[in-house]
Every structure is written in structure tokens, then in C-alpha cells.
Structure 1
């Protein structure tokens, strides 16, 4: 059976969607309560007890007596006293996990976990929350504030809306793991080439879910749930329904008193790990991806990290669409794959060579700097005059550079993906690329006037390397 290299077409698999609907948490909880209620009724009937027994009267309850604090104070041993500050400090350590919490509030699927995540538990002393109401109130705050989270399915992210809004307000960054799923109605073997990552020694056989062959051509062949899954992840981050925000309802019309907050209103940074997204395997993303990334969630984040995007034309298009999430002067990082999905789980990929470097880019930096009439062609196509604040400047003082001018911008980028250490890098505002990568192409086109004097920059009026030429000279600039 030879490997196949056909391109998979995008779909939302009907069987998976039906299973997701069936396992919806609230619906699952109702089924468990119904089963428990029927079991208790059966036990009562087997012992000759009616489950419709009336409650005792007030006089009967009074005669039975009750236990009070005063009656038990003498027999209960005194507890050691610990200051409240120390109790809170202990609770903070006990409810802080050294590893990210994967799919909170949901049942975790082993095939979506790495070996390290399977072996090591999150180390949370979650039983603190069941001790008393005070511990529950304080401990819940530590649980949702002190930890980072990884979501491996759109359903787990959507169910995160069960967390109260005042806890979700404290979440600044989140990690999404988009694992491509594949389906086929024929016995075919599909593989990812070993060129997917330098750490691979051989091609990886994809896990393909077998589906029965149907008569309709619309649901036959090799299919994948990849870009639609990314779209579903982003859709799950939209504002969930909040009954308290409804001012009144008139028939089919509902009026909201205030704008609905998003699922994570204070989100500043997002990392998306694309797993098993090989080159030349996927069609173009659906138009819904542009709708949610550039419009409904557009211009909201300071930094977006993408790992594992294919380096073909489709991957480049998705990267450009995801740049719509960023504010002006936001940082976009495109990194090589960091993991690959196997049959029994996810394997982390390690690479210390230059082949695993990442590409950093600053998005729409020239528009945020220039408030006049001149706009570069990289200006966002859907700018309707609204005043969106740019990404905040990085803390600290950047180093001195002769090339720093209105044409450039300093940004702090990670030294290594996943690490806390960062370094200053000078970027070109117009192209968004690091200045070292474009310096030679830009400075070789510096224009000189007839009297051999350098022309001042059209943007700031000063003379500097890479000065923007006047509008009447832009045609000559483009000819070069």
C-alpha cells in the first residue's frame, strides 16, 4: 500500500461533531444526575421505603433536638492558629502548577498530550477548595490567576466560559494546540515527509480516521479538519452570552445595555502550535478565518506566536490572516514546528540547529507612527478611520544605533521560544522585517539631489539612512 500525497479538503466531520454535541458538559451532567436519581429510587423501592415521604413537622424536628457549636466546643480539640497571610501564601503555592494546565474543566484526551504531560501531573492540591467557603473563595482566585493554560480543542476553550468573568479578566496569555485531524473512506496510507522537521529521522504516518463511503461526492475522499479547527478556536474566543448584560427583550429582538466582553478580555499574547500541518497537504483557508481574525478579533493583541505553519503558499496566507489579530506595531513570530502528533500522543520536537530559527515581523508599524496623509501600501485594508491604540512600548532603554530613525522601531523578541529572556532588535517600519535583513536593499537606494546633498525624509524632514523619498520621486524609487 503506497503512501498518498493528495491534498485534503477542509471539512467538519459529522461523526466528530455529533460526539461533541453528545458529550457537551451540561448535557452530560444532566444525564449523570438522572442516572443517580433513578438508582436512589430503586434502592428505596427495594427496601420498602417510599421516595415521596413527607418532611417532618416543626414539632417533630424540635423534639429531635439539634447539635450546636456550644454543645461541641468542649469536646473538639483546639486547632493550631496560623496567621491568615501565611495561610494564603501556602494556598498560593499549593494551587500553582509548575506546568501549564491542559484543557481545564474538560476531560483530557491522551492523544492530545505529550509524554511529559502524561507522566507528570499538574501538582495542584485541589482539595484545598473543598475545605471551607473561605478557602474556596481565595483558592479559586489563585487557581485561575497563577497558572497558564493550554487548550487542545475548540470545545475545551468554549467551556472555559464557565469560569466567572472576574477570574478570566486576569489571564494575559494563552496557548492553543491545533492538531490537524484526517479522515478517509478508503484504505490509504498518508505520511508527512521527514522534511517536516530536522529532528525527524523518517516520514511520519498520519493517523487517519476511517469513515464509511457515502454516495454523495460532497463527503467522500481524503478530508481534514485543520483550518476549520483554527477558525473554531478563534470563534470560541468571541463574547459568550451573558444574561446580566441584556437590558430587555421584545419578542425576537434583544437589547444589550453594554458591549459583551470577550472570553478573555485582557488577552495580550497568544501562541498557536500547529501540529501535523505538512506542506502541500491543505487547501486555502475558509473565508470565515479572515472574518474572525481580522474583524471580530482584529487589532486586539500585542504578540502572536505561530509554530508549525507550512512554508507553502497556503501557510503564508494563513500567517497573513493571523496578523490581523495584532495591534499596530504588534509582534508576529513564525517558528518551525515544535511537536508532531503520533498514534498514541504528541511528540515534542527538539532542534538546536539554524534550521529551527524563527522569523519575527512588526505589523503595520508605519501606520501607527505616521498620522499624516502618507500611508505605506502595507496599511491594513480594513482601516475605516477608527483610532486603535498601538501595542505598548517595551520596557527598558534600547541600545544606541546609527540607523535608528522614524524608519525604524525597537522591539524586544524572545531569545529562545518558550523562554523568558528577551533581546532588543531593530525593525524596519515599512517592511516590518528586522533591519539587518533589509538594510542593504534599503540604503543602496538613498537618493541624492543635483547638488550631491542627501534628500531629507518626507516623513520626518531629517536626513537619515533609508529616508522616505518625496512622493514625486516614488516612481523612481520603485523602478530600482
Structure 2
């Protein structure tokens, strides 16, 4: 079990539970490093540097050199083109292919349009951070238009802070609406106003040989009613990540504005309108460190963004009760029959950066589950719709079926559903797995408890399934059907 220890006057170390909060110093730094504000400061510094160099060398500001004049004194296009040497001609198809190769990264782009912090990057990401020929975009207007389209459509993205995801709204909507999946890297931040050492146990991952000391940001003690002592920014950070995915303001959707009253012509699209899959990497989320998640997490995950994704991948969630609650909250993002994958930690944050953890051993397996598969299923006169959605007047279609033909199985019935799951995390190769609709677990895990002869009458005759009226393995008896309705 992962514990957090702190030295004290007692010879034995005591266990500390961190308070969940947003650190004010970090929030002030985020406001100071806003991209527009940073850009203005950088331009001002560059302008002052240029002025100083010109002044030191006795050079005054000069205008653009005048183009050559013809014999009649007129300036024509031919005379302006004659000044510049001709450029070699390359077919447009080859130019686009070169540009596509130059603006496509083999690794995901980390925190686009935002200042990247080295402590949030892995060693591989630090060494290959400048593989994009981004200067193509500054060549000419045609290259800028075509290159911008290739940049946002040919690459995948990783966001390590809610601010970087929120700043992604600067990208035009017609580029953002083509993005199907993203990765969020939620790195827990810790604060303390006392000199204590906090560690994550080596049981956090089999790749660790010893306990790892957490990076704790020292804060002075304040004479206020705010939370003091050992604090963390973990679940609030997750809530801020999800909040950043809500619809950003778009003036083109405002049809009328009169004083404080504003009328919208259409619903505002979300930050990523076509998002289908999301992966959330929880870093340094050890067991028995965090309190329960705040209510805002349920509000944004299950209500504001609820029933919108086909697949959610969670890595590094603690296996304690708090981690289980957060996993259930994240399941609210999924549509009916959506796939939820809970994986072991894939990275750990150290002082100088993020270290990737290998997951090739059998101890790093993951759990896959189908969410609300029975609620979206309809057979005959029985309807198991998502009552939670209908309470809010919404009707969400279930997740689309996977492409391809699943293999034949004797156990496939109205109670089971086929889903494709990844063979290994981060790999595009997938395999077919049969799931139980009622529990959402793989059928192999429940097959021993559910057989064709579980429900027999006094005459030793198999009872037909209450859902479809047929006799099949795992037939649903009337008692379980009533329990299912009670759950709804």
C-alpha cells in the first residue's frame, strides 16, 4: 500500500492525508504567464533590444527600399519581380507532401500554444521537442494556410495543464472539430508549510526499486482560515481539465446582444466537438494520499460532458476507495455501451521530469469494462433505457459498434456484447472480447458464476430468459430482471 509519511517528534512516522485545494501562488503564476501577456512582453523586449543595437551602431530606422522604376518613371509588377531572383519551380503536389512530412511529428505535441514546463516532460519528449519545421508557416500566406491545416490534423496532442487545454481554444473551430482523441496528463502537485518528507511506496509500480520522494512545494504558514499543512492539487486539477473542455465563447454564435441580455443563434460547440476517445494519465496519485473528489467533478463529468465519448482510458488511478469513486465518475463521460479501461501507472514525476514506467510484466495488466450496456439494450417489449439521461430530457445514442465481424461464440446472446479492446496500451492493434451486459465485465470473468443450468425449475427444465424469452447461457431470471429495474 502506498503511504505518505512525514517526520515528527515521535520516532515513528505518521501518515498524512493531503487536503484538496488550488494553490494561490500557482494560480497567480498561471495568470502572469498567459500567452497574450507573455507575447506582449517578448515583443517589447525584442523591440528594445533592436533599438539598442541600432543606437549603438549609429544606424537609424530605415524604410523599405524603393522598387526599380521603368524608363517612364512608373513602378510596374514586372519591375518589382525583376529585382528578386527567380525561385526554382516545384509541383504543388510535391510541395504539399514535403510540408506534410515537415509538419507531422512522430511524437504527440505537448501543450501547443503554451509554454512547456520541462518538469512535465519525459526524457524522450525533451530530446525530440524540435522535430517540427514550424518555420514553414512563416514563408508565405499560401504555406501558412496549408501548413496550419496539416499541423492541426496530422498530429496528436498531450496537455499537461488545464491552462494549455483552455488556450487551445485559440485554434480555429474548423481545425479543432477534426480531432478525435487527446491525452491529458494530470500530474498531482503537493504543497506543505512544514519541513516534512512525503513518499510514494515502491508498491506504486513494479518498476520501482524503492520508495520515491514526492516533489513538495514549500509554502509559508499563513494566519488565515484557509487550508494549511499538507495540501494537494489533484482532483481539482482533473475537474479543471474537464472544465476546459466545455464550450468556449464564440462571438459568431451570438445573434443579439442588448446590454446584459445575450441571445445565441445555436448551441456553442465544445472545445473538441468530435472527440471520441480520451486518455487520462494520473501521475503521482498514490494510495491513501487524497481525500474524496469534490462535487464539481461529478457535475462536469456526468452532467456537462456526460454521455459524449466512446472510450475512456485511465492510467495511474489509486486502487483505494477514492480511486474507485473517481473511476466511477469518469465513467459518466461514456455513452451507453462505451468502453472504460483502467490501467496501472505509466509514469511517475520526479524533480527533473517525468519518468516513463514499463508495463510489460503481468502485474501491469489493465481492466476493461463496458459501461451501461444493459440500459441501452432493447429486446421485444422490454426497454432498458438510461433513465438518468431521460430525467434531464436528453436522449443519447449508444456508442457505435466496432468495425469487423466478431468471432463465433456459443455464449453470445442478448446478455453479451462484443467489443474491441487494445492488446497493449498505446498500440493500435485490437482484439475481440466478449463482455457481460449486466456487470460490464469480460464474460470469461463471470462465466464460472453464470451457466446455462443456474436457473432450473422443479421439473429440471431450463427457464427462459426474462429479457428475450429464449433459453441461452446466462439467461436472466425474473428476480434479476426486477433488480435491474430497481437499479434504474
User: Structure 2 length normalisation: TM-score?
Assistant: 0.89
Work out whether residues 445 and 477 of structure 1, in 8 Å CA contact, stay in contact via their aligned partners in 2: no
Q: 1:139 to 1:298 in 2, by over 3 A?
A: same
The aligned counterpart of 1:186 is 194
CA distance in 1, matches of 2:15, 2:273: 42
Work out whether residues 415 and 423 of structure 1, in 8 Å CA contact, stay in contact via their aligned partners in 2: yes
Larger mean Cα displacement after TM superposition, 44-53 or 72-81: 44-53
Work out whether residues 298 and 325 of structure 1, in 8 Å CA contact, stay in contact via their aligned partners in 2: yes
Tell me how far 1:377 sits from its aligned partner.
11
Cα deviation, 1:320-376, whole Å, max 9, x if unaligned, reads: 000000000000000000000001000000132211000000000011112777577
Q: Which runs of 5+ in 2 are unaligned?
A: 1-13
User: Structure 1 length normalisation: TM-score?
Assistant: 0.90
Q: 1:474 to 1:92 in 2, by over 3 A?
A: same
CA distance in 1, matches of 2:300, 2:484: 39
Tell me how far 1:250 sits from its aligned partner.
2.1
SS in 2 for 1:294: helix
Q: 1:77 to 1:323 in 2, by over 3 A?
A: same
Cα deviation, 1:396-436, whole Å, max 9, x if unaligned, reads: 00000000001000000000000011000000001000000
Cα deviation, 1:441-475, whole Å, max 9, x if unaligned, reads: 12277312233221111111111011111259858
Work out whether residues 376 and 385 of structure 2, in 8 Å CA contact, stay in contact via their aligned partners in 1: no
CA distance in 2, matches of 1:109, 1:417: 25
Work out whether residues 235 and 293 of structure 2, in 8 Å CA contact, stay in contact via their aligned partners in 1: yes
The aligned counterpart of 2:10 is none
Which residues in structure 2 correspond to 1:451-462 (within 5 Å)? 451-462=459-470
CA distance in 1, matches of 2:385, 2:64: 78
SS in 1 for 2:435: strand
The aligned counterpart of 1:144 is 152
Work out whether residues 376 and 430 of structure 1, in 8 Å CA contact, stay in contact via their aligned partners in 2: no
Work out whether residues 137 and 147 of structure 2, in 8 Å CA contact, stay in contact via their aligned partners in 1: yes
Q: 1:134 to 1:379 in 2, by over 3 A?
A: same
CA distance in 2, matches of 1:298, 1:311: 24
Work out whether residues 398 and 424 of structure 1, in 8 Å CA contact, stay in contact via their aligned partners in 2: yes
The aligned counterpart of 2:404 is 396
| 1:441 matched to 2:486 | no
Q: Which runs of 5+ in 1 are unaligned?
A: none
SS in 1 for 2:431: strand
CA distance in 2, matches of 1:219, 1:474: 47
Cα deviation, 1:163-183, whole Å, max 9, x if unaligned, reads: 000000110000000000000
**Count of aligned pairs between the two proteins:** 474
CA distance in 2, matches of 1:286, 1:423: 36
CA distance in 2, matches of 1:163, 1:36: 25
Which residues in structure 2 correspond to 1:193-232 (within 5 Å)? 193-232=201-240
CA distance in 2, matches of 1:48, 1:350: 60
The aligned counterpart of 1:282 is 290
SS in 2 for 1:156: helix
